[in-house]
Amino acid sequence: MTSLTPPLLITNQLAVARCSGDEAVQFLQAQLTANIEAIPIGGCVLSGYCSPKGRLLAIFFVLRTASDFWLITDPQILDKLIKRLQMFILRARVDVTLNPTWQVGFSHVSYNGQSASLDLSQTPVEHRFPAVLPFEFTLNTEGIAEAIDQNTFSSATSDSNNTFALACIQNGLPLIFLQTHEMFIPQSVNLDLIGGVSFQKGCYPGQEIVARVRYLGRLKTRMIRGTVKTASVIGPGTVVTGGGEESVQQGVVVDAAKNSDTGDWEVLASIPIAWLQGHSTAKTQIDGQCLVTQPLPYDLGLPE
């Protein structure tokens, strides 16, 4: 039995840049947090791009094709990021380019021939991360000879229902936006739990700080998923309160999208670990409304 091909949706929530050249692998390996060398052709992983202080400037979906790497992220910050990457090319045989006409499309993928789903909770744990994403990308990069089918864009439709954002939120996949630029370290948004950080490869900007947090056990925040009922607009950078009346700590919304089916906001939020360990999350709030915790398809690994 052959599963139906899922429809292709075009999203304006993402833009893409190309990294090409004989030394593209080595260049990205020295800049990004994931093990870029280990990405197979046709594979895609999440990877952070940090400042020297270990703060996330961006999170990319890194898609590898036969001769190039494609860096997919929020369009409002991509141009600035590419200019920064270009500063570090020096004499390397690498070219990093951005074309505003390029488009990013995505489709839900099936697992073992089953129907497409946004929910990875039914996928066996050992296959979830980093090997499985709840969608696959298709790029419209006219003029570049690549193993990417561009003809399918003629029948693609616009993602008008926050489908991509909801897929990321429901599966605990973070992105960085203009409002949260340099706000988080990778572990604060669970990037280390989903194959987005390698602790075995060589150096990259911020590597010393990221490694110190891991090996000295000084992590203070983790990312949770939740829903909230509110008439207000919730976006990245929105403050999250909780942890009891005596707490002066705050959490931060990493990503949020309105679910048109339920009317609720679905949220990823980075909150103090102390709230998860020592206080009821029932008091966690956004805009004065309760943030109802929802399960993630992976374990946060917190002590009991």
Q: pLDDT by residue (tens digit) across 84-121?
A: 999 999 888 999 999 998 999 998 754 333 444 445 55
Per-residue tokens: 52 = 């020297």
Give the three-class secondary structure for 138: strand
Give the three-class secondary structure for 46: strand
> What confidence category does residue 183 fall into, taking pLDDT thresholds of 50, 70 and 90?
very high
Question: 80-84, 275-279, 284-288: which has the highest mean pLDDT?
Answer: 80-84
> What confidence category does residue 31 fall into, taking pLDDT thresholds of 50, 70 and 90?
very high
40 prior amide bond cis, ω within 30: no
Q: pLDDT by residue (tens digit) across 59-70?
A: 999 999 888 999
Q: Does domain 220-296 have CATH number 2.40.30.110?
A: yes
**Cβ-proximal residues to 197 (8 Å cutoff; 6+ apart), any chain:** 33, 34, 48, 186, 187, 191, 210
| pLDDT at residue 90, as a whole number | 86
Q: pLDDT by residue (tens digit) across 120-148?
A: 555 554 444 555 678 889 888 876 765 45
Task: Tell me the C-alpha distance between 37 and 26, whole Å.
Answer: 8
Q: Scanning the structure block, which residue is given the tokens 């833009």?
A: 15
- Please name the residue ranges forming H helices in 5-74: 24-29
CATH superfamily entry for domain 9-180: Aminomethyltransferase beta-barrel domains (3.30.70.1400)
| Percent of all residues in the chain with a pLDDT value above 90, rounded to a whole number | 59
| Short-list 14, 50, 30, CA closest to 183 | 50
| pLDDT at residue 256, as a whole number | 97
Mean pLDDT (the chain) is 86
> Residue ranges of the domains in the chain?
9-180, 220-296
Look at residue 39 and tell me whether its pLDDT is greater than 90.
yes
| pLDDT at residue 33, as a whole number | 97
Other C-beta atoms closer than 10 Å to the C-beta of 53 total: 11
Task: Tell me the C-alpha distance between 194 and 220, whole Å.
Answer: 18
Same fold, 9-180 and 220-296: no
Q: How far apart are the first and last CA of the chain?
A: 44
Look at residue 218 and tell me whether its pLDDT is greater than 70.
yes
- Could you tell me which residue, 142 or 194, shows the higher pLDDT? 194
> What b-and-e string marks burial along 265-288, b requiring 16 or more CB atoms within 10 Å of the CB?
bbbbbbbbeebbeebebeebbbbe
| Short-list 27, 34, 127, CA closest to 82 | 27
| pLDDT at residue 1, as a whole number | 31
**Cβ-proximal residues to 53 (8 Å cutoff; 6+ apart), any chain:** 182, 206, 209
| pLDDT at residue 149, as a whole number | 56
pTM of the predicted model as reported, rounded to 2 decimal places: 0.89
